[in-house]
Structure 1
Amino acid sequence: MRGVIPTRAACLQAVASRDTRFDGQFFTAVRTTRIYCRPSCPAMTPREENMSFYPSAAAAQDAGYRACRRCRPDTVPGSPDWDVRADALARAMRLIGDGVVEREGVPGVAARLGYSTRQLQRITLGELGASPLAIARSQRAHTARILIETSPMPLSDVAYAAGFGSIRSFNEAIKVAFDRTPTQLRDLNPNLRTLKGGSAGESASSGGLRGTKTVLGRVDVRLAFRPPLASGPLFGHLAATAVPGVEEWRDGAYRRTLRLPHGPGIVALAPRTDHVAATLWLSDPRDLTPAIGRCRRLLDLDADPIAVDAALGADPALAPLVAAGPGARIPRTVDASELALRIVLGQQVSTAAAATTTGRLVERLGEPVIDPAGDLTRLFPTPDAVATLEASEIPGPRARAEALVTLASALASGRLELGPGADWDEAGRTLASLKGLGPWTIELIAMRGLGDPDAFPAGDLGLRRALASVGDPEVGRWRPWRSYAAQYLWATLDHPINRPPQERTP
């Protein structure tokens, strides 16, 4: 197995030093206890000859190991590889993380990539030591654990929400992954009560899983990240560019509506010292996994800031910026198609003007939603809806309006694919072929929509000013992290995007 993990010597050193930088990048399994841990687990003191290393939690579980109860390796941030790589495996992992296996099966993932099911299995087994189905099964177990431990949902409904096809498979998967039954996990929080009567300690039974939708309501989740995290510029950007009706800043949290596979949702995201607090309201519990994945992608929480900062901090021009605010993240998106449309609407106008113009489009075409805890009113319009407009119906310059409709039509027809399984090179070529989309627009879509770590919108006025302030260095020397270099440069500007509202002076 080729794998993506470090050498055995490096793994042993990481375990011996409890190095948190490797959490999520490989997993340590102990043959004598049949337990797997994160490298930094404080409880692990096995002999070297009893340790094996796996590139994924799914591979460790497939090999017969269960998750450590102390370090909870299933809760670590995901591998940074899946956000910064553009190959077939990374695209497959993004699709699996978005819940495509639950909705379309493994053949659906393979078809989106243009591979056969057998080819896809060879790819994931060769590098991750687990099949696509095993990876999805591990993901389901993690989602179920979140619901069992944080919500009072009946266990039968938890099984349905996590994507299990039967109560039996749910019970077996939880037992294998955590060496406890769902009931035993629920008993760790005796204050929970089920929503439909009965005690929280009830076992799941086959009679509880139904085909009807269960309204999940509110779920609170802690989103882990690799420190450090420069939360000010990250949340400042999201708040400053918020589109009325779709996004807002309220009570120290960024809130927005979500268009999810089974219905609308709303999320509130608030930065904390060692995690991001996420509160989700979902109309269908099956959307919990894709909702969490999209929020993590929005905040770039699976990034490896140590690796990025080590590379950029070695450059004399960027070293002071990295030292002043380490842990830069790229403010990304929950929907790349939405982001692309918003970037076009924001061409050659201020941040505030772009939000106003986009808000008018949302008011006209966005589907209404009910917000239980704020003033959000709409989902962002789909490309199909925007493509129905005539350029004359869109305020602003004619060329920009025509570019917006052209982009929306390409997205609606499938000619342009920007989703989690998108081929970055193909998407770039298609974007370049669309009239009205120049390098600035394409680079921003690549950076914030596709997750390219090396995109750089060199024509951006703010970037040009920031570059001048550090001596106009050659940006090519920052490869392959130019997207992160841009975040450090933007952070030097006196602009609302760099500070959350509560930190801004009146």
Structure 2
Amino acid sequence: MHEDFDRCYRAVQSKDARFDGWFVTAVLTTGIYCRPSCPVRPPFAENVRFYATAAAAQREGFRACKRCRPDASPGSPEWNVRSDVVARAMRLISDGTVDREGVTGLAAHLGYTTRQLERLMQAEVGANPLALARAQRSHTARVLIETTDLPFGDVAFAAGFSSIRQFNDTVRAVTAMTPTDLRRRARARYGVGPAGRSGSVTLRLPVRAPFAYEGLFGHLAASGVPGVEEFRDGAYRRTLRLASGHGIVSLTPQPDHVRCDLILDDFRDLATAISRCRRLLDLDADPEAVVADLGADPHLKALVDKAPGQRIPRTVDESELALRVVIGQQISVKAVRTHAGRLAEAYGSPLTDPVGGLSRVFPSVAQLADIDPAHLAFPKSRQRTFVALVRALAEGDVVLDPGCDWDRARAQLLAVPGIGPWTTDVIAMRGLGDPDAFPVTDLGVLAAAKIVGLPAEPKALTAHSAAWRPWRAYATQHLWTALEHEVNEWPPRATRKES
């Protein structure tokens, strides 16, 4: 979009927040870059340049606006919708792959040489992978500077900088302020310093409006695995497995943002934890496009008008989601919770929750490698499928991560005995984030289709759904909201009997 100058400039003139994250506006006369919705007077067109990312603007010597804070805007929904190599690379960079494995590791994940990948990224987004990772580090540093009392040396280390000097130079270059000035300014603006325990941070996750969070949070709470997830004090809470340790996140929805409280073993995992929380809540979706396309169908219009801005309840771990979907084949949400809870209790890593009742991190594939079938209290055929998927994930025959190829992942999943189209589509929808995944044989989808007057037979419904592409996953979410089911209840029921 950033190459369409007239369209971008109109968005800037109207201060349209819907385009925040799609591109940034760099002003030649001031050396500052802003988000499209920046409240200052729009610059003259001849003084403006548009860039796809903050990293591209920073690479050209522009610094972030102190007023609109473009480095805190939602991410571009383009990387969620697209499945090409650049979009896959952007998702992996957001997940911290460059910081953990370097550009060489990123390229290896994608099956490209480092030089090929750098050339593609430069042509598409105006910055190479290192520059994009640097921009992410500067954002992480800013969050820690403004929301914690950590010493700046710890902030630099946690954000991924190799030295204090590099940290100081980057902060000055990006914000035109020293770390001390940034922290002092944050204290003056918000009146008090950050509260909380050691290892904790609180921040706001920005959201594109409209944001119909009830179906999203209701689904996550209703399907929560005991010990791994819970609802407490108006928030959905869950444990995280991260590169340098474990974490606990508490997510509280608001109409225009999500409050995010993180407790981390190691602050080096902060950027990855934030990225995974955004992915879990599908916060970088493009709700306006979804509303416009799905609302045009007379069968869906009432559902869309009732709750525009639906998000897909996704995951913080693609392999975890896939295993839970296999457990859930042909059983109720409550039964899935029970089986998954037993699995977490037997094989998950223990942790201490200082403010709630969480006790386990969902077991990794490695922890499940030698699973005892006694802990799989469901039919033998599903036991075999579960064990086969664990083995395929462990051996790399099935690859599920933020940068995986969606079509290849589908083919790999379908090759696992006992995994069919429904399982594959649910994993593609909730695990991989494919916006066009459509579990057409799902009983809830078919029941809801009948309620709203759509064909209630898979073949006919598939034919009708062609008009919804590429948003059929969001059509699924809207259809689920037509049902009387606990996944649509937020806040969830105060008491619940586990089956």
| Gap change, CA 1:219 and 1:413, over 3 Å in 2 | same
Equivalent residue of 2:261, what SS? Answer: strand
Map Cα deviations across residues 170-224 of structure 1 (whole Å, 9 max, x no partner): 00110111000111101113444899xxxxxxxxxxxxxxxxxxx9511001000
Say whether residues 1:40 and 2:37 are aligned partners.
yes
194 and 349 in structure 1: CA distance in 2 versus 1, 3 angstrom threshold:
closer
1:359 aligned to which of 341, 349, 352: 341
Q: Which residue number corresponds to residue 492 of structure 1? A: 482
1:183 paired residue number: 180
Identity percentage of aligned residues:
57
Q: What is the aligned partner in structure 1 of residue 461 from structure 2?
A: none
Alignment correspondent of 1:212: none
Aligned with 1:62 (options 59, 63, 72)? 59
CA shift for structure 1 position 12: 1.1
The residue aligned with 1:198 is none
Pairing 1:53–2:61 present: no
1:109 equivalent among 102, 106, 110: 106
Partner of 1:480: 470
- Aligned pairs for 1:77-476 (under 5 A) are 77-190=74-187, 191-192=192-193, 217-391=199-373, 393-473=375-455, 474-476=464-466
Maintained 8 Å contact 1:153/1:193: no
Indicate conservation of the 8 Å contact 1:252/1:502, yes or no. no
* Partner Cα separation in structure 2 for residue 496 and residue 329 of structure 1: 17
Determine the C-alpha separation between the residues in 1 that align with 2:347 and 2:492. Answer: 31
Q: Which moved more, 1:218-227 or 1:383-392?
A: 383-392
Alpha-carbon distance change, 504 to 488 in structure 1, aligned in 2, over 3 angstroms: farther
Residues in 1 aligned to 2:439 and 2:372: alpha-carbon distance in whole angstroms: 29
> Among residues 5, 19, 38, which one is paired with 1:22 in the alignment?
19
| 8 A Cα contact 2:486 2:492, kept in partner | no
Change (3 A) 1:227 1:409: same
Do the aligned partners of residues 27 and 180 (structure 1) sit closer, same or farther apart at CA in structure 2, a change above 3 Å counting? same
Please give the root-mean-square deviation of Cα atoms over the aligned residues, in Å. Answer: 1.6
| Structure 2 contact 3–50 (Cα < 8 Å) conserved | no
Cα deviation 1:85-130 (Å, max 9, x = unaligned): 1111111111111111111111110111111111111111111101
Unaligned stretches of 5+ residues in structure 1: 196-214
| Pairwise CA distance, 1:503 | 7.0
Gaps of 5+ in 2: 456-463
Partners of 2:166 and 2:195 in 1: CA distance: 21
Structure-to-structure mapping, 1:67-78, within 5 angstroms: 67-78=64-75
User: Per-residue deviation at 1:7?
Assistant: 0.9
SS at match of 1:188: helix
Q: Which moved more, 1:411-420 or 1:332-341?
A: 411-420
Per the alignment, do residues 373 and 325 of structure 1 end up closer, same or farther by CA in structure 2, a change over 3 Å counting?
Answer: same
User: 1:181 & 1:305 partners in 2: Cα distance?
Assistant: 37
Give how far 1:6 is off. 5.1
The residue type equivalent to 2:141 in the other structure is A
Aligned residues: 484
How far 1:386 moved relative to its partner? Answer: 2.0
TM-score, normalisation: structure 2? 0.95
- Report Cα offsets for 1:63-82 as digits up to 9, x if no partner: 11111111110000000011
Report the TM-score when normalising by structure 1.
0.93
